[in-house]
Amino acid sequence: MDSPSINARVDELRRTGFLGSPREERFDRITRLAQGLFGVDFAVINFVSEDSIVAKSAAPEGAGLVTPFGIAFCDVTVDEKDIVVVPDTHADPRFADRAAVAEMGFGFYAGVALSTPSQVPIGTLCLVAKSPREFGAEDQELLVSLSKWAERELEHTPAP
């Protein structure tokens, strides 16, 4: 049975019309900046539905990609109150067997949940790199700041 957080997230995604919406430059700016600042292979803003993860913006380009649960990491991050940092995904039992690690070879992940003004988490801002790496306190603060920018952009999206 679905948890209340999943139901609230899906209801909020339907209400706002964010899921499946086209890419937007205002979100692309955030992911391009994040990719450059952190020197990662990918920076992505995702929306998380009941069974899939949909990229709203990705640097390098890749918006609109749909990933089923269990392959990537954002289905875990969206329900976390704090930043999720996994310096070595191969060593983390939550992620080591996922296809993003086992088949695609991603070794690092950091992500922050993104919430709407009504405080419902609907997505993530995340970083992914092929090689494991450290991600210190300053990096974490900067990623959280970028996530707040993304949330402000979510606030300024008119309802469908």
DSSP assignment of 11-79 equals HHHHHHT-TTPPP-HHHHHHHHHHHHHHT-SEEEEEEE-SSEEEEEEEESS-TT-EEETTTSSHHHHTT
Query: pTM to 2 decimals?
Result: 0.89
Pick the CATH number of 4-155 from 3.40.366.10, 3.30.450.40, 3.10.129.10, 3.40.190.10: 3.30.450.40
Mean pLDDT value of segment 12-21: 82
Per-residue pLDDT tens over the stretch 118-130: 899 999 999 999 9
What pLDDT does 159 receive?
A: 53
Query: Distance between CA 45 and CA 35 in Å, rounded?
Result: 11
Record the tokens describing residue 87, joined without a space: 């310096």
Q: Where are the domains of the chain?
A: 4-155
6 sits in which H/E element: helix 4-16
Map residue 125 onto helix, strand or coil.
strand
In this structure, are residues 110 and 135 in contact, taking their beta carbons and an 8 Å threshold? yes
Per-residue pLDDT tens over the stretch 22-79: 888 999 999 999 999 999 999 999 998 888 888 889 888 765 577 767 788 888 899 8
CA distances from 101 to 11, 32, 42, 66, 104 (A): 31, 23, 14, 17, 6
Side chain identity at residue 104, one-letter code: M
Side chain identity at residue 19, one-letter code: L
Record the tokens describing residue 148, joined without a space: 């707040």
Record the tokens describing residue 8, joined without a space: 């609230």
